[in-house]
Amino acid sequence: MLFKYYPLILLFNRYVAGGINMFCFNNGFSFLNAELNLQTVVEEFITNTRWINQKLDHFNPKDKRVWKMRYFKRLSFLKPNGPIYLFLGGESEASPRWAETGIMYELAKETNGAMYVSEHRYYGQSKPLNGTDAKAFKYLSARQALADNANLLKTIKRKSIFKNSKVVVIGGSYSGNLAAWMKLLYPKLVDAALASSGPVLAKTDFYEYLEKVNDNYEQYGTKNCLPTIRKIFKRYDKLMQSSKGIKQLKAEENICEECDMSSPENQQTFFSSKVGEFMSNSQYGTTEIIKSHCERVQNSSSPTIPPPESTRNNCICYDFDEMIESFYDEENVWILAWIYQTCNEFGYYQTTSSDEQPFTDNIPLEYYIRMCHKLFGSEFDEERVNEGVAEVNDLYGGLNPNVTNVVFSNGDLDPWSTISVLEDLSYNAPAVVIPRSSHCRDLFSNRLGDIEELKEARKNIKNLIKKWIGADC
């Protein structure tokens, strides 16, 4: 049986539908929602689904087209003029569970607030336009999404029960960016924000990601882990250089005979997939998971990185073109939307262009630019990506957004933290760096196994939010 393994980019990294590895793909937001949905909630679900009309283009008064955005609300703890908490949707379908557990739930319960969860345009059921090409995605941008949420908040605030309510926005990963940027662009509407693990600096060549993975494995792995990893990947690289080596690699890695592993794009897809577990362990794992992974790598009887368990009985095909085609499958359409945002606004391409990582130099920037070409047209070249990145950083301020009453939180294991705010911008724009913690951990409620530093960080963040909205008494 043929098993096609498709890796990819990322914000929230890991393995998702079809074996795709990404940011962004297991895409931060998608991964977090999936993890959240596994948690047990004792009380009955009482979050309500709602819809609101949004302008297709908030910045063109001549364009009168509208579409319906989905959001969720829960008013169980609300008292008149209690604060409004809005959890901002990110790059996948929104989950109402953020109003059932987690830091927003706790804040609302402790301050008698209302809870809302918005869904980002073009994700989940919030689809302004059908289609998967650049023309269909023309109105997909952070700026348009921020305007959607501003309109939602203004609509909510018109209700008499919220006449004097403070507004707090919360987000994680890309939606962590949105939380900070809501406070930047709509300071009179938003009173406070939590930007969890938000990579606020757009960057085309995000080589720092794998440098951080390197540092994590060096610090928390076993003694000879990094040299072993480096040796394995150098061997992969050498085998790729000859037909004899490729034949041997296919036998060792159970790669389908028909797969053309002499193709540079397919080789890069192979390397991307092999790096995936290291990325995931850093982004979502723990120091114990990293150490355990090192032990497995070093104790392996063969000098390879084992493929995922699900592929064990099937041959694997690393095919770049078939990976691209898989993005058009109905369950993967959200991936196309996110790739468009990386090609048009953010970059975030985790390359191996730095020497300070053990995975050779086989995931170049050109690999990701080729995705942009294939999916959205030849005009989406490196220059186009760089222009979009520059515009985003100019608009929002990169690592120095001009904001107050925003807390920037990051786990220091998380590779995304390298393009986030790690030092206080001011007294009222503090950074909370959580030792030995990973991506967006602070957004969840305390759980068995959470380290004390993480629990203390959640408490600190809640106290800051309460102080800023006058609910700390």
Backbone torsions φ then ψ of 274, nearest 5 degrees = -70, -30
Shared-domain flag, residues 258 and 282? yes
Classify residue 398: in a domain, yes or no.
Answer: no
Residue 361, CB half-sphere, CA atoms under 13 Å: how many?
Answer: 5
The residue among 329, 364, 389 that closes a domain is: 389
> Which three-class secondary structure state does DSSP give residue 306?
coil
Backbone torsions φ then ψ of 381, nearest 5 degrees = -100, -175
The residue among 334, 360, 389 that closes a domain is: 389
Classify residue 399: in a domain, yes or no.
Answer: no
Q: How many CB atoms lie within 10 A of CB 448?
A: 4
Shared-domain flag, residues 10 and 56? no
pLDDT digits (tens, 9 = 90+) for 6-48: 444 444 333 222 333 443 344 566 667 777 766 655 455 567 9
Determine the Cα–Cα distance for residues 85 and 169; give it in Å rounded to an integer.
Answer: 6
Residue position matching structure tokens 């592929």: 311
Q: How many CB atoms lie within 10 A of CB 185?
A: 18
- Among candidates 344, 336, 327, which has minimal Cα distance to 204? 344
pLDDT < 50 positions in the chain = 1-26, 42
Determine the Cα–Cα distance for residues 43 and 46; give it in Å rounded to an integer.
Answer: 9
Shared-domain flag, residues 192 and 209? no
Determine the Cα–Cα distance for residues 357 and 355; give it in Å rounded to an integer.
Answer: 6
Shared-domain flag, residues 192 and 214? no
Q: How many CB atoms lie within 10 A of CB 287?
A: 18
Classify residue 394: in a domain, yes or no.
Answer: no
Model confidence, pTM: 0.92
Shared-domain flag, residues 371 and 272? yes
Looking at residue 32, its pLDDT comes to 72
Classify residue 450: in a domain, yes or no.
Answer: yes
Q: Are strands 192-196 and 406-411 parallel, antiparallel or unpaired?
A: parallel
Shared-domain flag, residues 93 and 231? no
Determine the Cα–Cα distance for residues 99 and 106; give it in Å rounded to an integer.
Answer: 9
Domain with residue 443: its CATH number is 3.40.50.1820
Classify residue 231: in a domain, yes or no.
Answer: yes
Looking at residue 40, its pLDDT comes to 58
Looking at residue 301, its pLDDT comes to 65
Q: Is 336 exposed, middle or buried (0-12, 13-18, 19+ CB in 10 A)?
A: buried
Shared-domain flag, residues 431 and 370? no
Shared-domain flag, residues 185 and 252? no
Looking at residue 17, its pLDDT comes to 27
Q: Judge whether 458 and 434 are in contact, CB under 8 Å.
A: no
Shared-domain flag, residues 155 and 219? no
How many structural domains compose the chain?
2
Tokens of 350: 């985790």
Shared-domain flag, residues 214 and 185? no
Looking at residue 310, its pLDDT comes to 54
Shared-domain flag, residues 22 and 85? no
Residue type at 385? V
Classify residue 192: in a domain, yes or no.
Answer: yes
Shared-domain flag, residues 196 and 210? no
Looking at residue 10, its pLDDT comes to 44
Domain range for 191 is: 46-200+404-468
Quote the crossing angle between the two packed helices 174-185 and 142-157, to the nearest 10°: 60
The residue among 362, 389, 416 that closes a domain is: 389
Looking at residue 110, its pLDDT comes to 97
Classify residue 154: in a domain, yes or no.
Answer: yes
Looking at residue 413, its pLDDT comes to 97
Classify residue 395: in a domain, yes or no.
Answer: no
